[in-house]
Amino acid sequence: MGNDHHRSQLENAMIQRKEELDQFHSQADPWGYDNNPDDLQRRDVLLAELPVRAYRNVLDIGCGQGFITKELPGDQVYGVDISETAIAHAQGIATNRLHFKQGSIFELTKLFDQKFDLIVITGVLYPQYIDKADKLVYLLVDSLLEKGGVLVSVHIDEWYQSQFPYLKIKQTFYDYRQFTHNLEIYVK
């Protein structure tokens, strides 16, 4: 009963269904990120705020079609998203350094058997995606983040409730579309 029961509860609790996300991503760049000044700014702010260091393995959780993922530093950069169609689009930009996998945030430990020295989570930690599973997300991220690794969380402040149990080294608020973005940088 254990894991299968919990997984079933989580799948039933998700407000937005995977099929809806797949449909949404049926076209390339459905949010219009590539040409939107607000999205170009949020990508640039995230990249500028990253602690400067050499990153070996990087994970972008909720990568969508790879808008942020493709710009992240690191020897090996992985993007994961629940939407198969988003990942199909992202595969078009995959390289020897840039990899994409389909799966939910709740499947991370099945998808990856390695640790990451940088994990980025943007626009995922909202009730419509994780319901009330914040603590489970913390455990999953913790199992994948190396000791001394960096975690970057970027979310719309008005919708965001999560806080990670790590040392927060930076928090930046900035305008994003009609909202305020909250960028937090943690070190494990």
Instruction: Look at 20-29, 108-117, 134-143 and tell me which has the smallest mean pLDDT.
Output: 20-29
Tokens 């965001």 appear where? 160
pLDDT score, position 9: 41
Contact between 161 and 172 (Cβ < 8 Å): no
When pLDDT is averaged across residues 70-88 and rounded to a whole number, the result is: 96
Q: What is the pTM of this model?
A: 0.84
Q: Does the structure show a pLDDT above 90 at 79? A: yes
What percent of the chain shows pLDDT beyond 90?
Answer: 64
Instruction: Catalogue the E-assigned strands of 87-138.
Output: 98-102, 116-122
pLDDT at 11: 46
- The pLDDT of 180-186, averaged and rounded, is 94
Position 18 pLDDT exceeds 70: no
| pLDDT for residue 16 | 64
Give the chain's domains with CATH numbers.
2-187 (3.40.50.150)
Cα-Cα-Cα-Cα torsion 43, 56, 134, 40, nearest 10 degrees, comes to 0
- 184 burial via Cβ count (<10 Å: 0-12, 13-18, 19+): buried
Which tokens sit at 180?
């305020």
**pLDDT higher than threshold 70 for residue 15:** no
Report which of 98, 144, 90 is spatially closest to residue 121, judged by C-alpha positions: 144
User: What mean pLDDT comes out for the span 42-64?
Assistant: 96
